[in-house]
């Protein structure tokens, strides 16, 4: 089997299939960014703005929130990959997460 599971006798994806996969991935990343932005802004930034710039407390809160968000995303991704590998009878891990 070759890189990404393409080759090795398997049919090559068409350009339309590659484009569709890229569009789906872009939609997923956009949705994740929107959820991250909304969640962390709701937790860390008060609705009654007092100054134009973030203060230190808000900045620290946002930094921690983003770090925790990505940590959870990676754990969920790993768990889902492991479950998919168990169903298929193959090894867990590999390509398909956010690669961080």
pLDDT confidence tier of residue 1, bands split at 50, 70 and 90 = very low
CB-CB contact of 43 with 69 (8 Å)? no
User: Which whole-number Å values give the CA distances from 66 to 21, 51, 95, 96, in the listed order?
Assistant: 26, 22, 23, 21
Render pLDDT for 30-85 as a digit per residue (tens, 0 to 9).
999 999 999 999 999 998 888 889 999 999 999 999 999 999 999 999 999 999 99
| Buried b / exposed e along 14-29 (16+ C-beta atoms within 10 A) | eeeeeeeeeeeeeeee
């Amino acid at each position: 089997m070759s890189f990404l599971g393409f080759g090795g006798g398997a049919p090559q994806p068409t350009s339309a299939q590659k484009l569709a996969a890229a569009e789906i991935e872009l939609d997923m990343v956009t949705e994740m960014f929107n959820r991250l932005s909304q969640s962390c802004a709701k937790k860390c930034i008060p609705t009654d703005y007092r100054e134009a710039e973030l203060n230190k407390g808000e900045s620290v809160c946002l930094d921690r929130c983003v770090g925790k968000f990505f940590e959870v995303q990676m754990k969920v991704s790993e768990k889902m990959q492991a479950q998919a590998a168990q169903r298929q009878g193959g090894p867990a891990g590999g390509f398909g997460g956010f690669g961080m």
